Every structure is written in structure tokens, then in C-alpha cells.
Amino acid sequence: MAYKRIFGIVLDSIGTGEAQDAAKFDDVGSDTLGHIGEYFNGDLKLPNLQKLGLSNQRKTAIKGVPKADQPIGYYGNMQEVSVGKDSMDGHWEMMQLPVKTELSFFPHGFPADLLDKIAKFSGRKIIGNRPESGTKIIAELGEQQMKTGDLIIYTSGDSVLQIAAHEDVIPVDELYRICEYARSLVNGPEYTVGRIIARPYVGPDKDHFTRTANRHDFTLKPTGKTTLNYLQDNGVTTIGIGKINDIFSGEGIDQGYHNESNMDGMDHLDHVMQKDFTGFCFTNLVDFDAMYGHRRNIKGDGQALMDFDHRLGHVLAQMHEDDLLIITADHGNDPSYRGTDHTRELVPLLVYSPSMKNPGSLGTRSTFSDFGATVAENFKTNTNNWGTSFLNQLK
């Protein structure tokens, strides 16, 4: 059947076990969901995700989340083919634009020629310049920044250039201008950086700094058309909730909503679900990743999953017969793993409509693009022919 509205939800960084190519990323043994379940030792309660079949495609069920005897939706998982394991790679691939060319990574910090230009443009000195956790680097250098007005620039295992700035010292508008300038320097061919990320924070001293929702990602412009463009070109409504608009540089998105938090994102989703439209609503919930995964906070990650599951119950109850829900993730970020980076994992795939009569497994999909291919086929748009639609399997 053709669905009138498709709701995609990305649980940012909620992977479901090491990918086949995990060794290439030094991520063997990572399993975000599995390890959160073990930590909670039976107390991770996700009744709605459970009945959608969250554990069903796994070799071993997540502790506390048994395999459903009769899942109410189709379940499976997806492998990533993109060269990186960042949000941009994951989301672009979902929308049928896998990232196949190597981006620039800076494990030893950024080159002087690049930093000199940013220093000259901003009139500020640059400190940091190494891969580091964002909360650690502001604890270390934030007080210095408050005195000197220097820019804190850092990276990670991803192709990112992040600029942290205290909101009272470097106003958010100024920080965004500096980020936009930095963006213009790294669109290739010499340096091709996935994202410039503005990281504003507030607080009186190193023990009380907190990062604010004014975070903004300046992503590389998609290097080709995505499913979102094809939908938009065909007059199908496209709505982005949370980081989606940033990740696609607004390309192919009719309406965007900025999230303050996961729960704020779910409020936006509830709001959109009240609307009558024909199209695709794509939601990203980033707290799992930014607040817990990178912070290696297992307890927080599990609690955020339970909070999401609670809100998911309401989403399921509001769905119409001709609505389709697709829940997945963009990469892993195992909070029990070494370091503070993303982990190369399979991602869950849960697909539900109240109209489904006899759901079962969708297997392990060989690319995240099967998601976009399904959306495109549903709305009968052209595509760039990457990925295999599972629309006809849904009954």
C-alpha cells in the first residue's frame, strides 16, 4: 500500500552491535544497546520498542528487553557502507547518498595554514587544537578563554572542526560567523571536513560550565541529490525535526524545527502528527549521542532510552492506518567502550503501521539507503538508485 505520511525517527548513536567492518574502525566488540542492557541488569524497560521487535534481529536479546513472540511491526537491522561513522555519513546514506570519498581527519590537530586564517578572520588566538572530548576541553581551557577571548578549537575521531566559546565572551552570532567562515575554507579539494560545529557554553567556572542548545552544525553541502530533494521536487512535503536541517544544510527540507532536547523533539513530533499532510517527517534525537554516548554515561543513555520509549507509546497511539513509522540510528556510540568516539555498529530498523497484518523480519539490510529507497518508492519519486526498497514486503 502507499502510505500518506511517513515518520522517520533517528535515535542518534543507538547502535545494535559491531558492524562487519568494525575492525577497520578499531571498534570490535562495541554494542551500544547490548551494553546498556547489561549495565541495567534487567531494569532497562523498553516495552514499546520491545513490542516493535527491538531485540528480535539480534543474536542475543538486550538484557531486560526480550525478543517479542509476535512483534507488532517489521524488524531488522542495517549495515553502513559510507567511509565514515559520523552523523553526516549515516543520515546522507539513509537518504540514498552514501559518503564514498574520504573526508579529512585531523588526529594530530589542524594544520597551521588553516588555523592562521581563522585567527586572522576572527582577530582571536586559537587554543586547544587536538582531538578531545568537548566537555573535557572546556573544563580545561574555558577559564582561560574567559580571560583572553581565545577560540577553543578541537576535533574528534570524526571529520569535524569544533569551536567552543563561552556565550558571554564570544557572542553566539559572532561564533556562528566564525564557523561559517571556517566552513568556507574546508569544502575541498585540499581539506574536506564533514562538519564545523559551534559549541557555545555558559557558566561561571570550570566546575559549572554547561553547553547550550545553541549548538549549530555547519555541514558540508550534500554532494548530490538525496531522497529529500527528489521528494521536494515532486511536491511531497518534507519536514525535519532536530539536527536534520543542519545535516542536510537545509537542502530538500520544507520546514525545520530546532530541538532543545530529546523531549522537545518529541513535542515537535506530536505537533507535526496533528497536521494533515502527505509526506515525510524526519526526526533526529541527539541527546543519546551528545549528552550520554560521547560522555560514556551508560546510566544516562539507558534512562534517555526509557524516556523515549514512554513518549513512543503516545506516537504509536496517534498513528493513522495509512501512516508508517521507521525507527533507526545513524551509527553507534557505545557508552561502555574505550575513548569518547562513535562506534561502527549495525543500526536497528523498526517499521510499523497500524495497518500491518502479519509483520516479520526485514533481515540485515546491506545499506542504510534501503530506508530512503522505501520512502521514495512510496511517494513514487525518482531516486539516484541506491538501496533496495522494502515497501512491498510490508503487509
Ligand X SMILES: O=P(O)(O)O[C@H]1O[C@H](CO)[C@@H](O)[C@H]1O
- Known binding-site residues for Mn(2+) equal 12, 289, 294, 330-331, 342
Instruction: State the residue number with the nearest CB to ligand X.
Output: 134
227 is in the binding site of which of ligand X, Mn ion, none (Cβ under 5 to 8 A by kind)? Answer: none
133 binds ligand X (CB under 6 A): yes
Q: Smaller CB distance to ligand X: residue 138 or 241?
A: 138
Total site size for ligand X, rule CB under 6 A: 12
87 binds Mn ion (CB under 5 A): yes
| Known binding residues | 12, 289, 294, 330-331, 342
Q: Smaller CB distance to ligand X: residue 133 or 366?
A: 133
Give the type of residue at 235: G
Q: Which residues contact 85 (CB under 8 A, 6 or more apart)?
A: 25, 27, 158, 331, 332, 342, 343, 344
Q: Which residues contact 51 (CB under 8 A, 6 or more apart)?
A: 68, 71, 72
Q: Smaller CB distance to ligand X: residue 288 or 386?
A: 288
330 is in the binding site of which of ligand X, Mn ion, none (Cβ under 5 to 8 A by kind)? Answer: Mn ion
Using alpha carbons, list the distances in angstroms from residue 344 to 89, 298, 372. 12, 18, 20
- Residue 121: count of CB within 10 angstroms of its CB: 14
Of these, 27, 80, 89, 289, which contacts Mn ion (CB under 5 A)? 289
Find out whether 18 and 344 touch, Cβ atoms under 8 Å. Answer: yes
Side-chain-facing half-sphere of 301: CA atoms under 13 Å: 30
Alpha helices in 108-258 (DSSP H): 112-122, 134-148, 172-185, 227-233, 244-247
Find out whether 3 and 324 touch, Cβ atoms under 8 Å. Answer: yes
Tell the smallest beta-carbon distance from residue 134 to ligand X (Å).
Answer: 2
Tell the smallest beta-carbon distance from residue 103 to ligand X (Å).
Answer: 12
Binding segment (CB under 5 A) for Mn ion, from list 247-255, 329-337, 355-363, 387-395: 329-337
18 is in the binding site of which of ligand X, Mn ion, none (Cβ under 5 to 8 A by kind)? Answer: none
Of these, 27, 93, 150, 158, which contacts ligand X (CB under 6 A)? 158
Tell the smallest beta-carbon distance from residue 329 to Mn ion (Å).
Answer: 8
Q: Smaller CB distance to ligand X: residue 9 or 196?
A: 196
Q: Which residues pair with 119 in a beta bridge?
A: none
Q: Smaller CB distance to ligand X: residue 37 or 128?
A: 128
Q: Smaller CB distance to Mn ion: residue 340 or 367?
A: 340
Task: Return the axis-axis angle of helices 298-318 and 32-40, rounded to nearest 10°.
Answer: 110
Of these, 330, 341, 345, 370, which contacts Mn ion (CB under 5 A)? 330
Q: In what order do the strands lie in the sheet with 279-285?
A: 255-257, 237-241, 279-285, 5-11, 323-328, 347-352, 74-78, 361-365
Q: Smaller CB distance to Mn ion: residue 56 or 87?
A: 87
Burial class (CB in 10 A: 0-12, 13-18, 19+), 23: exposed
160 binds ligand X (CB under 6 A): yes
166 is in the binding site of which of ligand X, Mn ion, none (Cβ under 5 to 8 A by kind)? Answer: none
Find out whether 241 and 269 touch, Cβ atoms under 8 Å. Answer: yes
Phi, psi of 217 (to 5 degrees): -100, 125
Of these, 48, 82, 156, 353, which contacts ligand X (CB under 6 A)? 156
63 binds ligand X (CB under 6 A): no
Of these, 99, 152, 290, 324, which contacts ligand X (CB under 6 A)? 290
182-201: contacts with ligand X (CB under 6 A): 199
C-alpha cell of residue 189: 579539494
56 binds ligand X (CB under 6 A): no
Phi, psi of 268 (to 5 degrees): -65, -40
Map grid coordinates 549515516 to a residue: 90
Of these, 134, 279, 302, 372, which contacts ligand X (CB under 6 A)? 134
Q: Smaller CB distance to ligand X: residue 289 or 301?
A: 289
Q: Which residues contact 117 (CB under 8 A, 6 or more apart)?
A: 185
Where does this chain bind Mn ion (CB under 5 A)? 12, 87, 289, 330
Where do contacts with ligand X occur on this chain (CB under 6 A)?
87, 133-134, 156, 158, 160, 162, 199, 289-290, 294, 340
